């Protein structure tokens, strides 16, 4: 089909092929915009039901407009063939990346999945279930942004159309949910299961069950009845929060899974944030120096004196010995108590000096921090909105950078900032350089521990004085 013209697009080359059709790279004749054109296999186009499903793909994609989902530009028919003209995502599929790298680092994989989950939150809000989620249906563009492909077998839940009947198993077996395999009624939670399996494979390069068999039935049985392996079996460095997220997402019973992709995304985001909520200066309880009781005079010594004075003549020598003996014990008691007092005072002095030295060391560590780099966290506005910050330049305490907040309503806010970091106090003072109705100032503190640098701020909106918190961190 090279050089063939389809609705003002010139076919360049074939770039992919699936069960429902072939995908070509094309370019608009006038606009020079590249596009991906999907053509239904001519053999399948004779089947009216499959043809109707292909038309359903066009209707489905036309409702979707999200940065993590490929856009539909046009839908047309020509020479008894059907064509979808879609946004061209220039990058590599997640399956290609996994195959090349075997496994992705946790932070990178989780950040990608947050964007993927945002795309599914949007699609599900439109009543659309994907049904065929797998790494090969996700493209990672050269800028790192993921794009979800192939909503062609999706079912529009809000529609009365019965093109896809309950019980028709559409999708790749290894990523199917148990209810999908069993032909039961499915909803958004089947996508959550498939996303959990995909995240598992992204982090390990493996599926959570043995795939050494060629039997589709055995794989289906393992999904429906078997126990999945722990992600830490293949990658022991995975955090508990991500392991738990996968366990929840891939539960056999849909009621035990996350009940929405937003819940899934929030778990990956908020659980991580909660783990950092502790002071950089651990509370040190001062050691209480025990009170030193006054020395009590020895009563036996007093009795000895009475005896001496009463029968001085008879036991003069004995009284003298007793006097010397008890006098010596009393002096030894005083010396012992004095030494204990000196020892305790020395311990208290050493403890105070040690605590002071540790505090000074931590203060000095904060002063020497390099704040440049990538931070992630959340903005506590009306909920927990995922947030990223880049401090791109630090020079003598002067800072510049940018922030991105993904609000729960689906909107994204991006702004640049400038400001000052006061290393002597750990204070930070910023202002947004993009002056809009939502711009404002940021005041907060910088702290650290063995692994992270934390920035905790309060954002104050200039227009109405509204306030909300920012909580961010980055690896040292």
Q: Tell the burial category of 225 from Cβ atoms under 10 Å away from its Cβ (0-12, 13-18, 19+).
A: exposed
* Separation of alpha carbons 200 and 188, rounded Å: 19
Fold classification of 94-274 (topology level) = Transferase(Phosphotransferase); domain 1 (1.10.510)
Please tell me the class of the 373-475 domain: mainly beta
* Separation of alpha carbons 238 and 244, rounded Å: 10
How much is the pLDDT for 323?
Answer: 54
User: 384-395 and 81-87: which strand pairing?
Assistant: unpaired
Buried b (16+ CB within 10 A) or exposed e, 292-317: eeeeeeeeeeeebeeebeeeeeeeee
- Considering 22-36, 40-54, 157-171, the range whose residues carry the highest mean pLDDT is 22-36
Helical H segments across 277-315, by residue range: 299-310
How much is the pLDDT for 140?
Answer: 93
Mean pLDDT of 149-177: 56
Helical H segments across 368-472, by residue range: none
CA distances to 174, 189, 387, 469 from 381, in Å: 40, 28, 11, 7
Handedness of CA 434, 438, 444, 448 (dihedral sign): negative
Residue 120 has pLDDT above 90, yes or no: yes
How much is the pLDDT for 269?
Answer: 82
The residues assigned a catalytic role are 132
Residue 312 has pLDDT above 60, yes or no: no
Residue whose structure tokens are 């770039």 = 15
pLDDT, tens digit, for every residue of 37-91?
A: 988 777 766 777 767 776 776 777 787 899 999 998 888 888 878 888 999 999 9
Which range, of 146-160, 218-232, 424-438, averages the lowest pLDDT? 146-160
* Separation of alpha carbons 191 and 127, rounded Å: 12
Mean pLDDT of 304-322: 52
pLDDT confidence band for 274 (50 / 70 / 90): very low
Classify residue 3 as left (phi > 0), alpha (psi -120 to 50) or beta: left
pLDDT confidence band for 200 (50 / 70 / 90): very high
Which range, of 46-50, 197-201, 249-253, averages the lowest pLDDT? 46-50
- In this structure, what token pair is assigned to residue 244? 């738990």
Which range, of 182-191, 197-206, 276-285, 296-305, averages the lowest pLDDT? 276-285
Mean pLDDT of 401-411: 78
Q: What SS3 string covers 328-391?
A: HHHHHHHHHHHHHHHHHHHHHHHHHHHHHHHHHHHHHHHHCCCCCEEEEEEEECCCEEEEEEEE
Among residues 123, 125, 127, the alpha carbon closest in space to that of 137 is found at 123
Residue 442 has pLDDT above 70, yes or no: yes
> Torsions phi, psi of 289, nearest 5?
-75, 125
Identify the residue with better confidence: 363 or 448. 448
Which range, of 52-56, 122-126, 292-296, 375-379, averages the lowest pLDDT? 292-296
Identify the residue with better confidence: 323 or 184. 184
* Separation of alpha carbons 174 and 135, rounded Å: 11
CA distances to 203, 204, 213 from 102, in Å: 8, 7, 20
Q: Which helix (H) or strand (E) holds 192?
A: helix 188-204
Domain with CATH 3.30.200.20 in the chain: 5-87
How much is the pLDDT for 318?
Answer: 58
- Considering 45-59, 77-91, 113-127, 166-180, the range whose residues carry the highest mean pLDDT is 113-127
Q: Residues 168, 234: contact at Cβ < 8 Å? A: no
Residue 285 has pLDDT above 90, yes or no: no
Mean pLDDT of 109-134: 92
Residue 113 has pLDDT above 90, yes or no: yes
How far is C-alpha 148 from the geometric centre of its chain's CA atoms? 20
Q: Which residues pair with 91 in a beta bridge?
A: 141
pLDDT confidence band for 436 (50 / 70 / 90): low
Report the chain's mean pLDDT, rounded to a whole number. Answer: 76
Query: Cα 191–247–185 angle (5° rounding)?
Result: 35
Q: Which CATH architecture has domain 5-87?
A: 2-Layer Sandwich (3.30)
Among residues 83, 103, 101, the alpha carbon closest in space to that of 36 is found at 83
Domain with CATH 1.10.510.10 in the chain: 94-274
How much is the pLDDT for 346?
Answer: 58
Percentage of residues in the chain having pLDDT higher than 90 = 30
Handedness of CA 58, 60, 64, 67 (dihedral sign): negative
Residue 270 has pLDDT above 90, yes or no: no
pLDDT confidence band for 284 (50 / 70 / 90): very low
Q: Residues 140, 116: contact at Cβ < 8 Å? A: no
Mean pLDDT of 409-438: 78
pLDDT, tens digit, for every residue of 451-472?
A: 788 899 998 887 777 788 888 8
Query: Any residues with CB less than 8 A from the CB of 108 and at least 6 apart, and which?
Result: none
Domain with CATH 2.40.128.120 in the chain: 373-475
How much is the pLDDT for 48?
Answer: 75
Residue whose structure tokens are 């794989």 = 219
Residue whose structure tokens are 């009940």 = 259
Q: What is the largest CA-CA distance in the chain?
A: 142
* Separation of alpha carbons 185 and 178, rounded Å: 11
Query: Cα 74–78–80 angle (5° rounding)?
Result: 125
């Amino acid at each position: 089909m090279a050089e063939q013209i389809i609705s003002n697009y010139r076919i360049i080359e074939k770039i992919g092929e699936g069960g429902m059709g072939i995908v070509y790279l094309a370019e608009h004749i006038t606009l020079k915009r590249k596009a991906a054109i999907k053509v239904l296999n001519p053999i399948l186009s004779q089947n009216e039901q499959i043809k109707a499903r292909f038309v359903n793909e066009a209707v489905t994609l036309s409702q979707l407009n999200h940065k993590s989902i490929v856009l539909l530009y046009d839908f047309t028919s020509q020479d008894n063939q059907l064509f979808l003209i879609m946004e061209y995502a220039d990058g590599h599929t997640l399956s290609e990346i996994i195959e090349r790298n075997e496994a992705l680092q946790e932070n990178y994989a989780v950040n990608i999945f947050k964007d993927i989950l945002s795309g599914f939150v949007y699609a599900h809000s439109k009543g659309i279930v994907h049904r065929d989620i797998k790494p090969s249906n996700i493209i990672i563009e050269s800028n790192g942004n993921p794009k979800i492909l192939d909503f062609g077998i999706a079912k529009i839940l809000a529609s009365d159309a019965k093109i896809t009947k309950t019980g028709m198993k559409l999708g790749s077996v290894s990523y199917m949910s148990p209810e999908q395999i069993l032909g039961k009624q499915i909803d958004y939670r089947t996508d959550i299961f498939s996303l959990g399996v995909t995240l598992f494979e992204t982090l390990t390069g493996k599926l959570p069950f043995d795939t050494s068999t060629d039997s589709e039935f055995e794989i289906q049985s393992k999904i429906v009845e078997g126990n999945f392996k722990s992600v830490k079996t293949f990658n022991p460095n995975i955090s508990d929060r991500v392991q738990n997220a996968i366990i929840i997402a891939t539960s056999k019973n849909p009621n035990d899974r996350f009940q929405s992709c937003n819940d899934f995304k929030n778990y990956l985001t908020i659980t991580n944030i909660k783990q950092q909520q502790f002071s950089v200066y651990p509370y040190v309880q001062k050691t209480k120096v025990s009170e030193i009781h006054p020395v009590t005079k020895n009563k036996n010594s007093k009795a000895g004196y009475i005896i001496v004075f009463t029968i001085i003549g008879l036991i003069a020598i004995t009284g003298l010995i007793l006097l010397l003996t008890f006098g010596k014990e009393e002096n030894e008691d005083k010396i012992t108590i004095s030494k204990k007092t000196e020892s305790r005072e020395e311990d208290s002095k050493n403890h105070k000096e040690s605590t002071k030295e540790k505090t000074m060391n931590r203060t000095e560590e904060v002063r020497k921090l390099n704040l440049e780099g990538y931070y992630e966290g959340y903005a506590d506005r009306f909920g927990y909105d995922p947030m990223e910050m880049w401090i791109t330049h630090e020079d003598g305490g002067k800072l510049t950078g940018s922030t991105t907040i993904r609000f729960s309503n689906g909107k994204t806010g991006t702004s640049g900032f400038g400001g000052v970091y006061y290393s002597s106090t750990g204070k930070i003072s910023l202002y947004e350089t993009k002056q809009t109705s939502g711009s404002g100032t940021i005041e907060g503190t910088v702290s650290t521990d063995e692994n992270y640098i934390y920035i905790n701020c309060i954002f104050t909106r200039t227009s109405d004085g509204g306030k909300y918190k920012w909580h961010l961190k980055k690896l040292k």
